[in-house]
A and B are shown apart, each in its own frame.
Chain A
Amino acid sequence: MAVLVNKNSKVIVQGFTGTEGTFHATQMIEYGTNVVGGVTPGKGGTLHLDRPVFNTVKNAVDTTGADVSIIFVPPAFAADAIMEAADGGIKVIICITEGIPVQDMVKARAFIENKDCRLIGPNCPGIITAGEAKVGIMPGFIFKKGRIGVVSKSGTLTYEAADQAVKAGLGISTAIGIGGDPIIGTTTKEAVELLMNDPETDGIIMIGEIGGSLEAEAANWLKDNMRKPVVGFIAGQTAPPGRRMGHAGAIIGGADDTAAAKMKIMAECGIHVVASPADIGKTMAAVLKK
């Protein structure tokens, strides 16, 4: 079953009929994801990609029984889309949108706090459970089925790690892109915990970057819960302080959120930390052989 999404997930696409939504919905359907419809306000009652379009998330959930939503709504309206999904009864909300104003996410994050749902992202590549469901924008063919889970703040670095794991003779159970924004729904620690409890995952690759304290929080949790090996990498060892490195959250604010500080605490907590991004896959393979 792996985690968060699987072959039984019923997925809707918010921003279904837009360029991004159409392109990636098509790709997800080709992968075999059970896309049951989509939402575009004002286009309810029509068909798109042979699937029904709804005006509201609530309509979509009531009609299709959808439990997962993926959001391709432009940044100015994305926080609203997250809140609508939570209010409409979606259990796993995956927000791909990059560039959401931070104060919008402060509100949306607080809004979903007491709702029975989990938010992944925003500014993330989504989730893929290999061979079952791709609810994201990643190239599906890289993620060959296997028993390694991936948690990452970055898109292409997730593909890189998955590819290395596959080339090292391993494969992927579920890869979770948690996103690179300052405020995100699911933290590194929460995603690692899901994979730690997943019977179909034997090892975890945890990829972080400069900025914030999510990796340290995950490391501290892992110290007492390391039932499977974890290989870690932090991007941005050469990043200058005070400069935003692409991702809105990737900025060194103090001594604690440098790559060096994160790598140190991760190593102290028992994570197999690699300095080079080229070593992620082979280190995972070596650690599993022990």
Chain B
Amino acid sequence: MNLHEYQAKELLKRFNVPTQEGIAVDKVDNALNAYKQLAVDNGTKFAVVKAQIHAGGRGKGTMKEVPEQHGVQVVKSAEDVERVAKNILGNTLVTIQTGAVGKVVHKILVAKDMYYDGPSERKEFYLSILLDRAKKQNVIMYSTEGGMDIEEVAHSTPEKIFKEWVAPNMQLQGYQARNIAFNLGLSGDAFKNMVKFVTNLYNAYVTLDCSILEINPLFKSADDKIFAVDCKMNLDENALIRHNDLADLRDKLEEDPTEVEAGEYNLNYVKLDGNVGCMVNGAGLAMATMDMIKLAGGEPANFLDVGGSANAQTVEAGFRIILKDPNVKAILINIFGGIVRCDRVAAGVIEAYKKLGNISIPIIVRLQGTNAEEAKKLIVESGLEVQSAILLSEAADLVQKAVMA
């Protein structure tokens, strides 16, 4: 589950991880108040306005409706704040990660300017914590090259990426925190502050059950303080069972509405761009079915795993969700019956089909496994315009015909 920058920073504060201070607002007036509180009252005119969406590349991204407006903007006056807030709030931000459709911005974060002058040089670093699947350990990945696209750094100058693996069941050890601060070239107060920062940050990562915690830029100010200027936090959804408060941070506005609806029916659905919808039991078979649609000359319109209990209700919900997509020209239902009996699934398909009525596109139902023959008979005898298959290869042929028609 993705969080917004402002939510992630609030959580980090609980762990004494210093962050760039800010106030999240959804109205222009409140943005002006926040600016006064954070900048003017502290004797500076500088502040930053940052669009809050679940995607990176906001600084370089631009608003669809106001192309000269970027998603992150330094402001120097109340007029600036008003103009920028109006440009961003309610409009659509397009970044390298959102795709051409972009994302509507519902909140902006008005944040303190951290790039003030002081006795030492300001620096931007990169640091992220995630699971190393191969080593089965958490890894802290960091670099002196902050504020940049880290995948580009890893590709062109891999020697500038450092890694620190943390032993399972252990905290980040003191020597490891020092390694990180040394490798980032720090000394004096900045060194001490960085050691504290990464130690607390690792505790936050483990305690909050993060999947990814990325700080970019990780910032050293001109007075040797260390701050998280930006924060990307992704939580392990499996662990939300023990974090009721975190589950409430989910922003459904950021998700595809159809995917949200599918979730309410306990269906695992991912919207794709193709023309053949599919409904399958099991995640692996669902992916394999998508691949087969492609090989048959179509493009999968979705991933949809109905799970272990494919019955009339789930099939009906699946139909409704797939049929919302106007691009869908055919639907393939692929169920391998094990514990679930195919004849019951077939009865569910027939019931759902009759209930929905007027489905104008071809429906191909492939039922294999327990009671597959009985299931095929039920569908043939129902008189509905549903094509039935038992073998996967037969289903592929039927998809091909539907796509070519």
Mark A residues whose CB is within 8 Å of B.
Answer: 27, 75-76, 99-104, 106-107, 109-111, 137-139, 141-142, 152-160, 163-164, 167, 180, 182-183, 207, 209-210, 212-213, 217, 233, 235-240, 243-250, 254, 259, 275-279
| B211 CB–A CB distance under 8 Å | yes
A254→B291 CA distance, assembly (Å): 19
Which single member of A27, A99, A138, A157 contacts B285 (CB below 8 Å)? A157
* Nearest CB of chain B from residue A228's CB, rounded to whole Å: 23
| B96 CB–A CB distance under 8 Å | no
Residues of B contacting A167 with CB < 8 Å?
391
Is B336 a contact of A276 with CB atoms below 8 Å?
Answer: no
Is B270 a contact of A139 with CB atoms below 8 Å?
Answer: no
Residues of A contacting B283 with CB < 8 Å?
154, 180, 209, 245-247, 250
Least CB separation from B289: chain A residue: A277
A157→B338 CA distance, assembly (Å): 11
Instruction: Evaluate whether A138 and B284 lie within 8 angstroms (CB atoms) in the complex, with A76-B241, A106-B131, A276-B292 already known.
Output: no
Least CB separation from B268: chain A residue: A246
A180→B239 CA distance, assembly (Å): 17
**Interface SS of B by simple majority:** mixed
Instruction: Evaluate whether A142 and B369 lie within 8 angstroms (CB atoms) in the complex, with A245-B283, A247-B284 already known.
Output: yes
Is A278 a contact of B292 with CB atoms below 8 Å?
Answer: yes
Give 24 pairs: A residue, B residue, CB < 8 Å, sorted on A.
A100-B238, A102-B209, A106-B131, A110-B136, A111-B169, A139-B369, A154-B285, A156-B281, A156-B285, A159-B336, A163-B369, A180-B284, A183-B131, A207-B284, A235-B291, A237-B290, A238-B274, A240-B270, A245-B283, A259-B291, A275-B291, A275-B295, A278-B292, A279-B393
Is A142 a contact of B338 with CB atoms below 8 Å?
Answer: yes
Instruction: Evaluate whether A236 and B287 lie within 8 angstroms (CB atoms) in the complex, with A243-B270, A276-B292 already known.
Output: yes
* Nearest CB of chain B from residue A50's CB, rounded to whole Å: 22
Is B391 a contact of A160 with CB atoms below 8 Å?
Answer: no
Least CB separation from B337: chain A residue: A139
| B242 CB–A CB distance under 8 Å | yes
Residues of A contacting B133 with CB < 8 Å?
182-183, 212-213, 249
Instruction: Evaluate whether A101 and B238 lie within 8 angstroms (CB atoms) in the complex, with A238-B300, A276-B292 already known.
Output: yes
Mark B residues whose CB is within 8 Å of A.
Answer: 131, 133-134, 136-138, 151, 167-169, 206, 209, 211, 236, 238-239, 241-242, 268, 270, 272, 274, 280-295, 299-300, 303, 305, 336-339, 368-370, 391-393, 395-396
* Nearest CB of chain A from residue B169's CB, rounded to whole Å: 6
Number of A-B contacts (CB under 8 A): 172
Least CB separation from A157: chain B residue: B284
Is B136 a contact of A106 with CB atoms below 8 Å?
Answer: yes
Residues of A contacting B286 with CB < 8 Å?
245-246
Is B370 a contact of A236 with CB atoms below 8 Å?
Answer: no
Which single member of B151, B288, B339, B369 contacts A277 (CB below 8 Å)? B288
Residues of A contacting B270 with CB < 8 Å?
240, 243-245
Least CB separation from B305: chain A residue: A246
Residues of B contacting A104 with CB < 8 Å?
239
Is A278 a contact of B287 with CB atoms below 8 Å?
Answer: no
Instruction: Evaluate whether A103 and B287 lie within 8 angstroms (CB atoms) in the complex, with A138-B338, A159-B338, A238-B293 already known.
Output: no
A138→B136 CA distance, assembly (Å): 28
Least CB separation from B282: chain A residue: A156
Residues of A contacting B289 with CB < 8 Å?
277
* Nearest CB of chain B from residue A113's CB, rounded to whole Å: 9
Residues of B contacting A155 with CB < 8 Å?
282, 284-285, 338
Is B336 a contact of A239 with CB atoms below 8 Å?
Answer: no
* Nearest CB of chain A from residue B67's CB, rounded to whole Å: 26
Is B136 a contact of A109 with CB atoms below 8 Å?
Answer: yes
A163→B337 CA distance, assembly (Å): 11
Is A213 a contact of B287 with CB atoms below 8 Å?
Answer: no
Instruction: Evaluate whether A139 and B338 lie within 8 angstroms (CB atoms) in the complex, with A99-B238, A100-B238 already known.
Output: yes
| Complex A-B, nearest 5 residue pairs according to Cβ-Cβ distance, in ascending order | A154-B284, A246-B283, A156-B282, A110-B168, A139-B338
Is A238 a contact of B285 with CB atoms below 8 Å?
Answer: no
Residues of B contacting A111 with CB < 8 Å?
169
* Nearest CB of chain A from residue B403's CB, rounded to whole Å: 14
Interface centre among B239, B284, B287 (most CB of A within 10 A): B284
A163→B391 CA distance, assembly (Å): 10
Is B287 a contact of A248 with CB atoms below 8 Å?
Answer: no
A183→B206 CA distance, assembly (Å): 16
Residues of A contacting B337 with CB < 8 Å?
139
Instruction: Evaluate whether A137 and B339 lie within 8 angstroms (CB atoms) in the complex, with A102-B238, A157-B282 already known.
Output: yes
Least CB separation from B281: chain A residue: A156
A247→B391 CA distance, assembly (Å): 25
Instruction: Evaluate whether A103 and B391 lie within 8 angstroms (CB atoms) in the complex, with A155-B284, A182-B133 already known.
Output: no
Instruction: Evaluate whether A103 and B291 lie within 8 angstroms (CB atoms) in the complex, with A75-B241, A277-B392, A278-B396 already known.
Output: no
**Contacts beyond the supplied A106-B168, A107-B168, A156-B282: 14 A-B pairs with Cβ under 8 Å:** A102-B211, A141-B370, A142-B369, A154-B284, A155-B338, A159-B336, A180-B284, A183-B133, A238-B272, A240-B270, A244-B270, A245-B270, A246-B286, A246-B303
